[in-house]
Amino acid sequence: MTRLGDLVTRDANAFFHQHGSSPCVGALRFARGMWLEDADGKCFIDLHGNSCHHVGHAHPRIVAALKQQLDELCFSPRRFTNRAATELAERLTGRFRNGGSRLLFMPGGSEAIETAIRLACVATGRSGIIALEGSYHGHGMGSLSLSESALDDRLPHRIPGVFHLPPYWDEVQGGGDQMVDALARCLAANSGRIACLVAEPMRSNCHVPPPDLWPRVANLCSIHGVKLIFDEIPSGLGRTGRFFAYEHFDVQPDVVVLGKALGGGMLPLAAVVGDARMNMAPELAIGHYTHEKNPLAAAVGLATLDIIESDGLIEKAAQHGDRLHQLLHDQIVGPFRLVLRGLGLFRALSFQGPTVGGDALISAARACGISTTAKDQTSIGMSPPLAINDSDVIEISERIKMIPDQLSRR
């Protein structure tokens, strides 16, 4: 058996080092359902999955769809269509606005955000963009510009005309009311210049917005002719207990961006789905990609939607999220009070008590057989596959309650 340390060392010597991926914390040899197994045979419950594992790792129906498509058609130049790409496009546009939407596919979320921005700029004839300070939308030049107004100066990340609002989750800056007030001022001061507002309907750190926030934002955008773009790359496809996360908030965006789980946890695939009235510049290349209509990725996307629908995973996400809330929220475990936030199975768990830090939380979770990420210095991600069962929920909660004991040993 290949030793864990061997692969980690080889990886560290082969890849450029960057925060969050390389050097790696371990090496995997197996992933199935909600489980990961490393090269030394240790198993972990995956509460992160890079937001790709809605249907669980290595779902047999995804594997079968991929094998079947390999025999049918492996590649399609973008000037040709194919069955899988067309059917997936019809399924997604029907979900967004039946008969009133169109889409574009691309390999990943960063590219999808860039495409959505271009689409809005072309549709409005404007170039200004509004985003929320401290959000995350990818690592392209445009998408990274949206995330924060002040990043490391060594990264050439900025594009002009980006305005940042104080986010609804920052109560120190006034929360949702301050965000809406800042938006109104920004739109008034830049009349006729703003093309779009880009935001996650629920932040990936799992802060739930006030129920009236997005209707108020959408109303201001409509008044000023600004396109509302929702980034649902981590939150869409049922994770929150609704197919689109924005469905919780009584609002209809002009564009929604999907990714990550759309590829079934196996292949990279993202989509920009928007109002059909924005289909107004056929002479331009809004989002050209070599694998724009890749039949393998599209077949996996179709199988993913089939599993989500036929297995009732959206309803299960809501039910299991509620159950985790009952088992963990406001529980006292050792010196910590556990606080669970979010919707469905798009959650974060905060350990309120002694200061330990995000790295210590992640390390303690790994010692308890849990793979996840830090959402902040007191919180870890709680996003298992939607395809878990009741006994899985119990096991997750029991392992979570072991983390304080691990922290006390450090």
Task: Return the structure tokens found at 5.
Answer: 């340390």
Q: Tell me: the pLDDT tens digits for 328-362?
A: 999 999 999 999 999 999 999 999 999 999 999 99
Range 28-31 contact pairs with CB under 8 angstroms and sequence separation of 24 or more: 29/2, 31/57, 31/58
* pLDDT, averaged across the chain: 94
Q: Tell me: the pLDDT tens digits for 167-199?
A: 999 988 889 999 999 999 999 999 899 999 999
Q: 143 vs 232, 267, 406, CA distance in Å?
A: 14, 21, 38
Q: Tell me: the pLDDT tens digits for 284-311?
A: 999 889 999 999 999 999 999 999 999 9
Over residues 155-176, the mean pLDDT reads 86
CB 379 within 8 A of CB 343: no
| Higher per-residue confidence, 179 vs 97 | 179
All residues at 6 or more sequence positions from 203 whose CB lies less than 8 Å from its CB, including other chains: 132, 135, 167, 169
Q: What is the pLDDT of residue 174?
A: 83
Place of tokens 């209509």: 293
Q: Which of 226, 204, 200, 231 is nearest to 213 (CA)?
A: 200
Phi, psi of 365 (to 5 degrees): -60, -40
Q: Which of 391, 339, 397, 346 is nearest to 368 (CA)?
A: 397
| Higher per-residue confidence, 406 vs 141 | 406
Count CB atoms within 10 A of the CB of residue 360: 17
Q: What is the pLDDT of residue 404?
A: 95
| H or E element that contains 63 | helix 60-72
Is a pLDDT exceeding 60 seen at residue 2?
A: no
Q: What is the pLDDT of residue 1?
A: 45
Over residues 396-406, the mean pLDDT reads 97
Q: Tell me: the pLDDT tens digits for 364-388?
A: 999 999 999 999 999 999 999 999 9
Burial of 172 (0-12, 13-18, 19+ CB in 10 A): exposed
Whole-angstrom Cα distance, residue 180 to residue 162? 17
The residues assigned a catalytic role are 136
Question: Using 50, 70 and 90 to split pLDDT, how confident is the model at 276?
Answer: very high
**Range list for CATH 3.90.1150.10 in the chain:** 4-55+312-408
Q: What is the pLDDT of residue 245?
A: 98
All residues at 6 or more sequence positions from 218 whose CB lies less than 8 Å from its CB, including other chains: 228, 251, 252, 253
**CATH code for residues 60-310:** 3.40.640.10
What sign has the CA pseudo-torsion 349, 355, 360, 365? negative
Is a pLDDT exceeding 80 seen at residue 151?
A: no
Whole-angstrom Cα distance, residue 268 to residue 260? 7
Q: What is the pLDDT of residue 3?
A: 61
Phi, psi of 208 (to 5 degrees): -80, 130
Burial of 359 (0-12, 13-18, 19+ CB in 10 A): exposed
Over residues 257-282, the mean pLDDT reads 96
Over residues 42-67, the mean pLDDT reads 97
Q: Tell me: the pLDDT tens digits for 220-260?
A: 999 999 999 999 999 999 999 999 999 999 999 999 999 99
Over residues 84-112, the mean pLDDT reads 94
DSSP result, 171-206: GGGTHHHHHHHHHHHHHHHTTTTEEEEEE-SS-TT-
**CATH code for residues 4-55+312-408:** 3.90.1150.10
For a pLDDT cut of 70, what percent of the chain falls above it?
A: 97
**Range list for CATH 3.40.640.10 in the chain:** 60-310
What's the pTM?
A: 0.95
Q: What is the pLDDT of residue 78?
A: 85
* Backbone conformation region of residue 238, classed left if phi is above 0, alpha if psi is from -120 to 50, else beta: left
